[in-house]
Structure 1
Amino acid sequence: MTANDPSAPPIDTVSAPVAARRPARRSHHGDDVDDPYEWLRAKDDPAVIAHLEAENAYTRARTAHLEPLRDRIFAEIKGRTLETDLSVPARRGDWWYYGRTVEGKQYGIQCRAPLASPDDWTPPELSPDVEVPGEQVLLDGNVEAEGHEFFSLGSFEVTNDGTRMLYGVDVAGDERYTIRVRDLVTGEQLPDEIPGTFAGATFSPDGRFIVYTTVDDAWRPDTVWLHELGAPVSEDAKLFHEPDERYWVGAGFTRSDRFLVIGLGSSITSEEWLVDANDLRSEPRVVWPRVEGVEYDSEHTVVDGEDVLYVLHNDGALDFELARVAASDPTGPRDIVIPHEPGRRLLGMSTFRDWGVVAYRRDGIARIGLLDYADGAVRELAFDEPLYSVGTGGNPEWAPPLLRLGYGSFVTPSTVFDYEIATGELHLRKRQPVLGGYDPADYAQARVWATAQDGVQVPVSLVWKRSFGEAGSAPRPVHLYGYGSYEHSIEPAFSVPRLSELDRGVVFAVAHVRGGGELGRQWYEDGKLLAKRNTFTDFVDSARHLVDAGYTTPEQLVAEGGSAGGLLMGAVANLAPELFAGILADVPFVDALTTILDPSLPLTVIEWDEWGDPLHNSDVYAYMKSYSPYENVRTDAAYPRILAVTSLNDTRVLFVEPAKWVARLREVGADALLKCEMVAGHGGVSGRYNAWRERAFELAWLLDVLGVVDA
């Protein structure tokens, strides 16, 4: 069989849904815009649900011939995955905490086992078929998900003394979590139940309280609460409320357990408040009062007997610098520990009792360094591959002799290391097993550079299977991915589903366009607000480079992006439809102007720092209108095949955006499909098998567009 199955029904034998056109007008800055598909926003309207169901039925019919290929890809993903497995245990208190997955079960199982001794820092090597002495199952996601089509865990934490557990559950996909508490000594479910919370609830160090966050009507986390275990939720204390609609709020305890940190931030400004962890009802005190455009993040430790804060900030330092201040007087003198260096973007700081960890990016690669508190020296950890990603994770202890790291690349599966501080030795704890004879040496990765229309060099990462020849030696099918917003960097990361493409001869590529963070803060600044078009033209220029340099042809090139990357997809479809055979847009932000004009919608006001404020600024309005995909669907273009995937309960990018976009694309004769998950959120379906099937659906469509033939 081929991906392009000749038995598939031709387009004209399956009727596409036609959305009704209903009068609606948007008027701003003297500009009147008719929007006949705006009625699709009414989620509770039976006509809207009927239209979405019709779109799903049409998509099923149009892709029915791909079912055998989907099944094969799903089987490949499943066959390469060790379904019954365990994570590397992380030490906290008197226990090793780890997760299990079990063949045939959708969700993970959270477990723990006791330490062999207080001096035990080497995690036990666990095997699925060997019983773990003293193991306790804390939470089985499969049990909690029973009776629900969707299940997501938004909070999970155990008290320092190991006696109680909290967990937050979402069973709709709208990211509203209900917190529940369990006694781990008796197994009893406690009466404490807190509905309607945001993710990330946490216990106080003494285990008496839960700190959690709630959201406002626009889905903005705006209030931090204190719940005393055993007390009615109606008596919970409001610790902090942020009235400014541009700011998110969150809270968490320092690793030292000395302070509760309440952090708030917009896209360009942040502020932190400290609360004494021993007196959580005391008044918060500010670290640095907010200044528009200044971002900072503080971490507590003790140096020479003094409480100090390490503050990572961009006050007069575009790519950030690291300062140290007295915790008793944070606005006092600053000791500059790591000065600003253009091109070296400081990303984060983590403090432990005896040393710190600094994360930064240089030459487009994320790096980790150990900070000596005494002299400020940074010891960078070295890795062999030219492209890789590395970060810290699973380090809850205050004074460990080891630092837990996560590592990977396009060809190296996800790897867990423990870095021994005293010796500098890396201890390999686990590498993600990839079944079926996977050998990293069979694959290659590289970075090339595309020249943007203004002369800027844009990095493009590539990964391919060597047996098909070197990338660029002859035109090949290429899957080009992009994002380019919020200073988010697309890291060189391993993917099991991607192997189903690579093993069929597809080259996977990432265009690291402006608006992301790959090349420092200026790279981000040059792809936002009134420079947003650079994001789109960088992607087009990257695609054009791959064609001109002989890597591929327009008939063999498919683009993909999700969320803000979905906006990118919609924009490049309008800018250069002739360059692509297909475009895959996941939860795409394609009706950007309509959304950002409405401050009552989720996240809109917060987003003004990223996109601009078109409601009050006519220049921003005109600029956004010039690129918003829905506004700019062309009547003079032959569009590539388009697949838009969305979710009914998505609170970040509402389903109405791709629904309207597809309706308008159909007006101009585009071959556009819409797939709407009726019980899911921004991250798509829940459950690993469901997620694999979803990705198999997308990859089968992609391979069909590319004309890749199965053996």
Structure 2
Amino acid sequence: MKNFLRLFSLFSFTPFIVNSQNASTIPVAKEIPKELIKHNHVRIDPYFWMNERDSKPVLDYIAEENNYSKRFFDQKEGLINTFLKEFDGRINPEETSAPFEIQGKTYQWRQIKDKDYRELILIENQKETVFFDENALALGHEYYSLGDFSISPNNELVAFSQDKIGRRNYAISFRENKSGKVLKEQIPNTDGSILWANDNQTVFYVKKDPTTLREFQIYRHVLGTNSSKDELIFEEKDERFAVYITKTLDKQFILIHSVSSTSSETWLIGADKPAEKAVCFLKREKDHLYEITHHETGFYILTNKNSPNRKLVFSKSIPNSVESCEVLIAHNNDVYLDEMEVFKSFLVVQSRKMGRTEISVGSLQATNFSSISMPEEVYELGLSFNENYESKVVNYHYTSLTSPSSIYKYNIESKTTQLFFQKTLIDPNFRSENYVSTRIWATANDGQKIPISIVYKKGIDLKKAPLLLYGYGSYGVTIPAAFSATRLSLLDRGFVFAIAHIRGGKFLGEKWYQDGKLNHKRNTFTDFINAAEWMAMKGYCDPNSIYAQGGSAGGLLMGSVTNLAPYLFKGVIAQVPFVDVVSTMLDESIPLTVGEYEEWGNPNEEDAYWYMLSYSPYDHVKQMDYPAMLITTGYHDSQVQYWEPLKWVAKLRKNNTGNAPILFDCTMSAGHGGGSGRSTERLEVAKEFAFLCEIQGINE
């Protein structure tokens, strides 16, 4: 750990007092020592009792913590309201999505002024009608989420799923589109996804394990029958795997995907013959991940077989092996193949090279490619909503740290690009050119180069600017360098915003991911620290005003870097943080645990136990000066249980020898993604910004 301390002598860090509240009001959690023994090693957890969901002691303590954070934010009510007014003055209250096509009909999502949720508009013959009103569906509920909606092939019915708690447990309902009548039949306890077969009578859906919440069963439902009699057509018994369903673009197959972190298997059902048994495409193999889609001439397969960054192969029928397939795009050590889409007359491939995204459009034989990219250094491209198999046009989206998102249409015959839709801000003073975005490369402890995407307002003195550094670094997820209309409020106050594309994500391909998981996980944390150090040393920020933010697995990142380099960060925002790593991964009754072994390791194995214990944030809290911290969660979170951040806050506060505030904010009607509704979401962002500004001494 000695490398983590090398910046200490370079920058002074003066303790600060920002919380004027009486010390007697600070919550103090009771301690009930719990002995946890594994591999002859004993840990004592004084706050283990906090996992007693819905018990009075737990609810009382959460209420005490929430009241404490409320008193803090009440003092910043003026600034919070200022942020909210800025958001409202910048973002169109009737913001719309790009129009999109489903089965020959055009739809568009629209926000409604003074309402929290969206409406889905059907546009026909230049006439607009409300197809779906989330506001009506959410009426009377503190939390509401429309999980999915799926329109029958003949456009007469819509199946839709709803979660009214925040636990990501969805009930499926059906509606007649012409009359608007919602049918009585309902399918409870699903993951929310719905797919119609081509007969307009059969739907497929996914069930979760009631304890672990793992998606593990696929059912077939026939309209007009009781869902209790639905047929189980696929069950995944290996707890490392979860299932999901898709439909091929040519509408010929329903695909059942069973996937773990390291291997996958796909099963097919003919969409015209939904009563038939599923057929396995390629049996699962260790360390083999693949994806397929269908074209009338055969199957296209993205596979990592002997190809870490993936290759594209083709087979006229279900193959015996990957080796028997025709290679269309060979493996490239420098290019990661992200995604593919196969239309009737052309092929589209999305890839990433040195972090830059590119879309290639070519023949079905993967020749004569035309490349779509942008001249900027920092941007994101991606395939957009493409539903029409016979289309001659591919839709793709573009955004950057300085530019709101746009949808473009690329015509394969004319090889021309047309701007189709662009989000705009209603603030007449906004200009993209008033902000600067660039990519820099920090040097890690082991010499690797860490890409960092940054944005700031033109004209600020970088060496005096506070920095908000965001990170994630797990599951191969690449955090996009995307535009944020709310973030402008920080940039306009002189903040630099940066994304550290650390190991554990796939920004630089599969190896970048592999070098940040399992027994390489600590690279994720040291990369983030090195990125912060580098930006300070190279004059991209004030070294005494560095803030860090991350959520979920990014919250684990926040916990680890705070333990390792507390002197480096002036403030930390940890959202729904996964911080009690060892205890959680030893409890197989907790949702998602077993399936995570391939990402973090199985602590039932001694080597993995000790490695995970070496970085588990909760287990490494010790007496020292911690930075100011805002820790948020949702009581109904199914991904990271509420008690992880709750325990962490109690332990942090007991051991903190400094004066910086440590706040815990639990939304009692929310899950992993925070509260629902536009006003709740914006309030959460405004509170985060107010926290940063309070610590930084910015009052307006």
Normalised by the shorter chain, which TM-score bucket?
A: over 0.9
**Secondary structure at the counterpart of residue 193 of structure 2:** coil
Matched residue, 2:154: 161
User: Does the Cα contact within 8 Å between 2:670 and 2:676 map onto a contact in 1?
Assistant: yes
* Match in the other structure for 2:614: 626
Alpha-carbon distance in structure 2 between the residues aligned to 1:60 and 1:318:
48
| Structure 1 segment 398-477 matched on structure 2, within 5 A | 398-436=389-427, 437-469=429-461, 471=462, 474-477=463-466
**Which sits farther off after the overlay, 15-24 or 374-383?**
374-383
Q: Deviations over 1:14-36 (max 9, x none)?
A: 52111111131211111111111
CA distance in 2, matches of 1:153, 1:403: 27
SS in 2 for 1:406: strand
- Give, in whole Å, the separation in 2 of the partners of 1:86 and 1:464: 27
The counterpart of 2:34, out of the listed 24, 28, 47, is 24
User: Which residue of 549, 555, 560 maps to 1:560?
Assistant: 549
Give 1:187 shift.
1.6
> 2:168 — aligned with what?
175
Which secondary structure state, in structure 2, belongs to the residue aligned with residue 383 of structure 1?
Answer: coil
Aligned-partner Cα distance in 2 for 1:464–1:688: 26
Matches for 1:268-417 after TM superposition, within 5 Å: 268-303=262-297, 308-329=298-319, 331=321, 333-374=324-365, 376-417=367-408
SS of match in other structure, 2:544: helix
Aligned residue for 1:153, secondary structure, equals strand
Question: Which consecutive residues of structure 1, in runs of 5 or more, have no partner in the other structure?
Answer: 1-5, 117-132
Q: 1:142 to 1:425 in 2, by over 3 A?
A: same
Counterparts of 1:79 and 1:202 in 2: how far apart (Å)? 39
Contact 1:536–1:572 (Cα < 8 Å) also in 2: yes
Q: Quick one: which of 90, 94, 101 aligns to 1:80?
A: 90
For 1:60, the equivalent position in structure 2 comes to 70
Out of 662-671 and 95-104, give the one that drifted further: 662-671
Supply the distance in 1 between the matched residues of 2:671 and 2:52 (Cα, whole angstroms). Answer: 17
Q: Residue deviations 1:32-76, cap 9 Å, x none?
A: 111110110111211101100100000111232211111001111
In 1, the alpha carbon distance for the partners of 2:20 and 2:556 equals: 29
Q: Are the counterparts in 1 of residues 537 and 543 from structure 2 also a CA contact under 8 Å?
A: no
> Whole-Å Cα distance in 1 between the matches of residues 106 and 207 of structure 2?
31
Find the partner of 2:638 among 651, 656, 662. Answer: 651
2:637 and 2:216 map into 1 onto residues whose CA distance is 19
Which of 211, 214, 219 matches 2:207?
214
- Which residues of 2 match residues 452-531 of structure 1 at below 5 A? 452-469=444-461, 471=462, 474-531=463-520
Q: What one-letter code is carried by the residue in structure 1 that aligns with 2:669? A: V
CA distance in 2, matches of 1:456, 1:63: 41
Q: Distance in 2 between matches of 1:334 and 1:707?
A: 62
CA distance in 1, matches of 2:104, 2:147: 24
Alpha-carbon offset, residue 13 of structure 1: 4.2
Q: Partner residue of 1:706?
A: 696
Alignment of 1:140-289 (within 5 A): 140-216=133-209, 217-289=211-283
Aligned with residue 588 of structure 2, among 591, 599, 624 = 599
Cα distance, 1:7–1:284 mapped onto 2, change above 3 Å: closer
Are residue 93 (structure 1) and residue 96 (structure 2) matched?
A: no
Alpha-carbon shift at residue 8 of structure 1 (Å): 7.6
- Which runs of 5 or more structure 2 residues have no equivalent in the other structure? 1-15
Q: Which residue of 2 aligns with 1:51?
A: 61
Secondary structure, counterpart of 1:39 in structure 2: helix
Secondary structure of the residue aligned to 2:70 is helix
Maintained 8 Å contact 2:630/2:665: yes
Alpha-carbon spacing, 1:377–1:606, altered in 2? closer, same or farther (3 Å): farther
Q: CA deviation at 1:386?
A: 1.4
Does structure 2 retain, via aligned residues, the 8 Å contact 1:445–1:464?
A: yes
Amino acid in the other structure paired with 1:376: T
Distance across 1 between alignment mates of 2:328 and 2:611: 41
Q: Is the 8 A contact 2:18 2:694 kept in 1?
A: no
Quote the offset at 1:211 in angstroms.
0.7
How many equivalent pairs are there?
Answer: 679
Tell me the distance in 1 between the aligned counterparts of 2:205 and 2:392.
31
8 Å contact kept, 1:271–1:296: yes
What is the DSSP-based 3-state SS (H/G/I as helix, E as strand, rest coil) of the residue aligned with 1:410?
coil
Q: Is the 8 A contact 1:168 1:178 kept in 2?
A: yes
Alignment correspondent of 2:46: 36
Q: 1:159 to 1:641 in 2, by over 3 A?
A: same
SS at match of 2:192: coil
Measure, in 2, the Cα distance between the counterparts of 1:255 and 1:518.
27
Change in CA separation of 1:348 and 1:330 when aligned onto 2, cut-off 3 Å: farther
State the TM-score, normalizing by the size of structure 2. Answer: 0.95
Q: Once the two structures are superposed, what CA deviation does each residue of 1:369-414 show, in whole Å capped at 9, x if it has no partner? A: 1131135343211222211111112211111122111110000101
TM-score of the pair, normalised by structure 1: 0.93
Shift in CA distance, 7/562, structure 1 to aligned 2, threshold 3 Å: closer
For 1:664-679, list aligned pairs within 5 A: 664-669=651-656, 671-679=661-669
Residues 216-260 of structure 1, C-alpha deviations (whole Å, 9 max, x = no match)? 120100000110011111221111000000001011211111111
Q: Percent identity?
A: 35
Say whether the 8 Å CA contact 1:14–1:62 is kept in structure 2: no
Could you tell me how far apart the structure 2 residues matched to 1:461 and 1:554 are? 18
Superposed displacement of residue 440, structure 1: 0.3
Offset of residue 433 of structure 1: 1.3
Distance of 1:42 and 1:331 partners within structure 2: 49
Deviations 1:201-222 (A, max 9, x none): 1222232111100001201000
| Residue 709 of structure 1: how far off its partner (Å) | 4.5
Q: 1:189, CA displacement in angstroms?
A: 1.2
What residue identity is the alignment partner of 2:343?
F
AA at the equivalent of 1:431:
Q
Give the match's secondary structure for 1:135: strand
What residue in structure 1 maps to residue 114 of structure 2? 104
SS class of match (1:113) = strand
CA contact (8 A) 1:252 1:261 kept: yes
The CA distance in 1 between the partners of 2:369 and 2:189, in whole Å, is 43
Indicate the residue corresponding to 2:5 in structure 1: none
One-letter code of the match for 1:241?
A: E
What's the offset of the Cα at 1:329? Answer: 3.6
Give, as a single letter, the amino acid of the residue that structure 2 aligns with 1:43: R
Per the alignment, residue 693 of structure 1 pairs with 683
